[in-house]
Amino acid sequence: MAQVAALVGTLKRVLKASAITYVQVGACLNRSESSIKRKFSRQDFSLSELDRICTLASTDIAELVKAMEQDQGRLQHLAADQETQIADDLGLLLVTVCVLNKWSFDEIIDFYVFDEHDLVQKLATLDRLRLIELLPGNRIKVLVAPNFGWLPNGPIETVFLRVIQKDFFATRFDADDHQLIVMNGMLSDTSNAELRRRLERVARDFDVLNQEDTRLTHDNRHGYTLLLALRDWRYSGFQPYVRDKS
């Protein structure tokens, strides 16, 4: 709830800076001014409503979260050498992923083969990197921003890409909770840019839902990976059929 309160507080600041009134927000959401005031008081907005309000204020949810984190001064990314320290230790990388997904000390011990001493040492390393604060009783306080991310093309992203290429697609994606969509077409530069904006919105939605679900118990959450990719690519097997225009 603290994160929700902080986000709504940042939203109010953004609206005030843009001279946008509750009446205008109400018109945007097809609600009365009094209804909007109650929603702000109760901090009760759906993801769709937040998105529409952000559009009204000429921003988006990602920028709103970024502004909130700037207000709070929380970590949004590591330096390259810090990422390297984690990437070079597979066990430390695993623990890092766990704590960023709000696993407790006992949940990590129960699920993985770390002994208590080893896990404490790895958590102490993350404490020194300021990713977490290791509290008495081995309680873990995550210090990073909800929109924390790995450096583009950095050490950790490189590790994950190497694993994704080998392991991620080694399935038929036919389970009820899986989805694979592969499409091919020809787009203009304008359409490409619009599609990339929409993909970024899907990624933000995933991040927001992930943060909301950290309030649930460990047994009610399951590990999922969302991969969004768009690039200029042609099947190499077609290359022998391409006419040489040189």
Q: What is the rounded radius of gyration, in angstroms, for the C-alpha atoms of the chain?
A: 22
For residue 1, is pLDDT > 70? no
Q: Tell me the pLDDT tens digit for each residue of 137-162.
A: 999 998 887 667 889 899 999 988 88
State the number of CA atoms in the 13 A half-sphere of 189 facing the CB: 0
* Rounded alpha-carbon distances, angstroms, from residue 175 to 51, 165, 172, 197: 31, 20, 8, 28
Residue 134 β-bridge partners: 140
Position 131 scores a pLDDT of: 92
Between CA 11 and CA 63 the distance in angstroms is 10
Tell me the average pLDDT across 168-180.
88
- pTM score: 0.64
Look at residue 71 in the predicted model and tell me its pLDDT.
Answer: 61
Q: For residue 20, give the nearest of 70, 71, 59 by alpha carbon.
A: 59
Lowest mean pLDDT among 2-6, 46-50, 165-169, 228-232: 2-6
pLDDT at 125: 95
Structure tokens at 175: 């389970």
Q: Which residues of 155-164 are buried (b: 16+ CB within 10 A; e: fewer)?
A: bbeebbeeee
Q: In the predicted model, what is the mean pLDDT of residues 2-14?
A: 81
Each residue's pLDDT tens digit, 63-119: 888 777 766 666 778 889 999 999 999 999 999 999 998 899 999 999 999 999 999
CATH of 2-72 among 1.10.260.40, 3.40.50.970, 3.40.50.1950, 2.60.40.60: 1.10.260.40
User: How much of the chain exceeds pLDDT 70, in percent?
Assistant: 94
Domain ranges across the chain: 2-72, 76-168, 171-235
